[in-house]
Structure 1
């Protein structure tokens, strides 16, 4: 899937540009999957992940975020994909997922996973599909 990022925005994989306080605010206050995540835990998640930000070119203001947990050899987990409510509907989320996909492509990973309760059709556009053999997968911890 080809996506077009609006010209007034840019996507960066530079973790130094991430605003950890803003990311924590977004996720802990507005993301169903992270309402109970502490700032300390969010900071550890950022430190241990590949991080992607969406920024307004003119101001440098961060308006989106995604992170990837990966060994850069065989496996990755895409998570915490979030676009600020103020800029939703401009295709930024789609462009962000495309940028993450393109960034991971050179690693030739065997598997990239994600979990979503409500955005299956969006991720399907990028080739994500339900697990072929869910009976092979197990989890330790809460679901």
Structure 2
């Protein structure tokens, strides 16, 4: 566990064995704005193939973030959340700071994320709108888990 600076009771770990998979699955499939309807199998496979960060208070997981990366040139931050009853206490900032300081995620040529409503949070960590949006392309299926 990595203690955070603002609240010593909040700790972050990259140990997948400590993740509360049922809680992560419930949040993503029922409460997130980006993965409603996602299957538990897909959640488990995404965790298995990513660098994951669990945020804990007194051993209970209350936050999560996932980074898809090749550990050399690029990384994509996704599935960042704090459960509703713990929001507004700075835990997301602490979690993202630890993600961004992780030794395996340094010196990436490109570090991306998608957000609908947390631009001010992520801008604190150097994220900005793409300087070259004309070079980015995507295949996007927003309701794929509902079909």
Does TM, normalized by the shorter one, top 0.5?
A: yes
Other-structure match for 1:67: 66
SS in 2 for 1:29: helix
The equivalent of 1:29 in structure 2 is 30
Q: CA deviation at 1:106?
A: 5.6
Counterpart-to-counterpart distance in 2, 1:94 and 1:30: 20
**Structure 1 residue 142 displacement after superposition:** 2.1
Give the SS at the match of 1:118: coil
- Residue 111 (structure 1) aligns with: 110
Deviation at 1:104, TM superposition (A): 4.8
Q: 1:36, CA displacement in angstroms? A: 2.1
Q: What runs of 5+ residues in structure 1 fail to find an aligned partner?
A: none
Partner in structure 1 of residue 135 of structure 2: 136
Q: Taking structure 1 as reference, are residues 106 and 76 closer, same or farther at Cα in structure 2, changes over 3 Å only?
A: closer
Partner of 2:145: none
Q: Is the 8 A contact 2:53 2:65 kept in 1?
A: yes
Runs of 4+ in 1 over 3 A off after TM superposition: 104-107
**Counterpart in the other structure of 2:92:** 93
User: 2 CA distance for matches of 1:90 and 1:46?
Assistant: 26
Q: May I ask how many residue pairs the two structures share in their alignment?
A: 139
Q: Distance in 1 between matches of 2:94 and 2:106?
A: 20
CA contact (8 A) 1:6 1:90 kept: no
Uncovered stretches (5+) of structure 2, i.e. residues with no partner? 143-147
